Copies of this chain bind each other. A is one copy, B any other.
Amino acid sequence: MESITIKDVAKICGVSVSTVSRAINNNPGINEETKNMIMQVIKKYDYIPNNSARNLKRSETNNIAILIKGLNNPFFSPMIAEFEKEIKKKKYTFILQRVDENQDEIEVAIELEKEKRLKGIVFLGGYFSHSREKLEKLTVPFVLSTVGMSEMIEGVKYSSVAVDDKKESYKIVDYLCKLGHKKIAIISATDDDESIGKLRFEGYMRALCDNNIEFNPDLVYYLQSGNDRYSMRSGYIAGKKIVKEKADCTAIFAITDIIAMGALRAIYEEGYKVPEDYSIAGYDGLELSRYYIPSLTTIRQPVEKIAVETLKVLFDMINEKTDSVHKVFDGELIIGESVKNI
């Protein structure tokens, strides 16, 4: 029931608590023998230090937190793995904190910063439309990683690492155009959706324009709004609609791979074929999209690179080598089996 504390260990060992503390924290200036003896007792009695007490007392830690909205998004999986690896390599402690869809990530961050005495924070994915005042409450360095930024936030020290959503979405839509597609539908988020939905839509518009294709509002299919708007189901519904309305298009650009796959399935169920009847392009470059049948033509975000760079920037900020860096990576056009040349 009652769990053992540092005092108990000290008593058992016949030393003072500070000596025990030194032993468990690998402090210098402690006799090897006493240390060994203490460690043995600790092992025997299974003493585990209380983290709350440690965090409370410690002036600083090596804790780095990754805050992530939409944990179930497979896009994040490889990034998380990379973060963990890198953070451990640097001898920091990795804390993964999930943020609920309708929770304010900054609030969570502020709370966690206090609780864990964070050294730095990474915000992963999602949007970011927070006021300056709020962001200023964050007193440790933070980096936005693959966060669709609609605009820079003035007067706040922070960094960001991501691809340029607009540019990349332009890239893939332009690719569709160059293959001869002139009627390209888009499955996109509703107007009120900030961030990636908007940015990727802008890239689409621009690409059409540069290819002298007139924008046809009838070819814009909106995802249902709601928390699962970026789901397969949501793409599926949009796909069904496209087919049933006999949308006048030869290609479809879905703003994420997941949505593309949902749409693909819908088209398949309606008896059409991809890419023969409809070409479909996605965005993200999930591992899954290589294994889907047909594999997706998509924009691959260099997730590993982004993760590594995110931490590099964060550590640079922590070590005061830099104040603020905004790094943009190129996406890679992956040519899969879901788009045909016409």
Residues of A with Cβ closer than 8 Å to B? 1, 3, 46, 48, 50-53, 55-56, 71-72, 74, 77, 80-81, 84, 96, 98, 100, 110-111, 114-116, 137, 139, 232-233, 236, 261-262, 264-265, 268, 287-288, 290-293, 295
- A74 in contact with B74 given A115-B51, A139-B1, A287-B232 (CB within 8 Å): yes
Find the B residue at minimum CB distance from A295.
Answer: B265
Docked CA distance A71–B70 (Å)? 12
Docked CA distance A77–B80 (Å)? 16
Docked CA distance A265–B56 (Å)? 52
Docked CA distance A53–B110 (Å)? 15
The smallest C-beta distance from A282 to any residue of chain B, in angstroms, reads 13
Q: Which chain B positions have C-beta within 8 A of A116?
A: 52
The smallest C-beta distance from A290 to any residue of chain B, in angstroms, reads 8
Docked CA distance A71–B72 (Å)? 9
Let me know if B84 and A100 touch, CB within 8 A: yes
The smallest C-beta distance from A62 to any residue of chain B, in angstroms, reads 16
Q: Which chain B positions have C-beta within 8 A of A292?
A: 265, 292-293
- A262 in contact with B236 given A3-B114, A48-B114, A72-B80 (CB within 8 Å): no
Docked CA distance A71–B53 (Å)? 28
Determine which of B1, B50, B77, B236 lies in contact with A56 in the assembled complex, contact meaning CB atoms within 8 Å: B50
Let me know if B293 and A293 touch, CB within 8 A: yes
- A288 in contact with B232 given A71-B71, A264-B293 (CB within 8 Å): yes
Q: Which chain B positions have C-beta within 8 A of A137?
A: 46
Q: Which chain B positions have C-beta within 8 A of A80?
A: 71-72
Q: Which chain B positions have C-beta within 8 A of A293?
A: 264-265, 268, 292-293
Let me know if A232 and B291 touch, CB within 8 A: yes
Q: Which chain B positions have C-beta within 8 A of A81?
A: 72
Let me know if A53 and B50 touch, CB within 8 A: no
Let me know if A98 and B100 touch, CB within 8 A: no
Q: Which of A50, A100, A110, A293 counts the most chain B CB atoms within 10 A? A: A293
Q: Which chain B positions have C-beta within 8 A of A77?
A: 71-72
The smallest C-beta distance from A23 to any residue of chain B, in angstroms, reads 18
Q: Which chain B positions have C-beta within 8 A of A74?
A: 72, 74
Find the B residue at minimum CB distance from A84.
Answer: B100
Find the B residue at minimum CB distance from A54.
Answer: B52
Docked CA distance A50–B115 (Å)? 5
Find the B residue at minimum CB distance from A4.
Answer: B114
Known: A1-B139, A3-B114, A232-B291. 4 other contacts (CB 8 A): A46-B137, A51-B114, A52-B115, A236-B291
